[in-house]
Amino acid sequence: MAQQKRRSGRVRQGTRWPRLWLACAASLLLCGRFDAPYSGTRRVALEQGWPFGPGELLTFDLKWQFITAGTATMGVVADRTDSTAWHIQAFARSTGLIDFFYTVRDSLVATLDSRTLLPTRFEKRQHEGWYHRDSVYLFDQERRIIHRKTGAFACSVKVHDMLSALYRVRASPLVVGRNVTLTVYEGGKLYTAAVNVLRRETVTVPAGTFRCVVVEPILQSEAIFVQKGRIWIWLSDDARRIPVLMRSAIPVGKITAELVSYQSPSS
């Protein structure tokens, strides 16, 4: 029994670095396929002025130190029955040598109200080595209640999940020297996240060269965006605010996500 507990502990410790991408609002090793967008909700994106909408698809390469660890995709899909609902989908897949020793198949799906970008449902599926865990949260934003498998969780403000939080930041004005503040629910706790806007910088990634705004998420409590480390996100300094580069410094090394391709929202 003791040996089994020690073994379980090693597995949980080892899963920390792959989960950093999940903690960033997407999943560290992301990859997957997106359904065709429902064209009727592109109008909502235009009316609200969001820099993204159904049909947008981001593809990333992810590295741990100098080793290619996986591929990543994040995208927006319209609900086929509710014209005001969007699904933000993120999928993770380890590749190469990492996949042989430590298989990762993770996914996040946030269903949100496209008029407010507030989530109504969040689903997280973590399949990382021997660690498997699935979670579902239902958000009642008006009543300030989050329904979970373990029961209802009351909160005093409207909240985001880790994935919709990233898109909320993309939709916010980004002024150097200021921050974007929002409340995030994860793992049975509420966190206040201040996303600091640090500077402007030009970076080159496989998708091209981009003028960017660099932001750093800081939490007032236990880390969500990154565990025992720091993360910086380069968002394109234009109306799209595309996540171009993500870099994390953690005890076990450096993790980098580089944009490989960008598909714009459907017209």
Q: Phi, psi at residue 51, to the nearest 5°?
A: -80, 10
Structure tokens at 95: 């590749």
Q: Write down the pLDDT at residue 13.
A: 36
How confident is residue 195, by pLDDT bands cut at 50, 70 and 90?
A: very high
CA distances from 181 to 115, 156, 231 (A): 19, 16, 16
Contacts 24+ apart (CB under 8 A), 210-217: 210/234, 210/236, 210/237, 210/242, 210/244, 211/236, 211/237, 211/238, 212/236, 212/237, 212/244, 212/245, 213/174, 213/176, 213/237, 213/241, 215/169, 215/174, 215/180, 217/24, 217/193
Q: Write down the pLDDT at residue 50.
A: 92
Structure tokens at 60: 């990333």
Q: What is d(CA 55, CA 32) in angstroms, rounded to the nearest whole number? A: 14
How confident is residue 77, by pLDDT bands cut at 50, 70 and 90?
A: very high
How confident is residue 229, by pLDDT bands cut at 50, 70 and 90?
A: low
Task: Quote the domain boundaries for residue 131.
Answer: 2-263
User: How many domains does one find in the chain?
Assistant: 1
Q: Write down the pLDDT at residue 15.
A: 35
Cβ neighbour number for residue 35 with a 10 Å cutoff: 12
Q: What is d(CA 88, CA 120) in angstroms, rounded to the nearest whole number? A: 12
How confident is residue 127, by pLDDT bands cut at 50, 70 and 90?
A: confident
The two beta strands, 151-154 and 179-186, are unpaired
Residue 42 has pLDDT above 60, yes or no: no
Percentage of the residues of the chain whose pLDDT score is greater than 70: 77
What is the arithmetic mean of pLDDT over 93-114?
A: 90
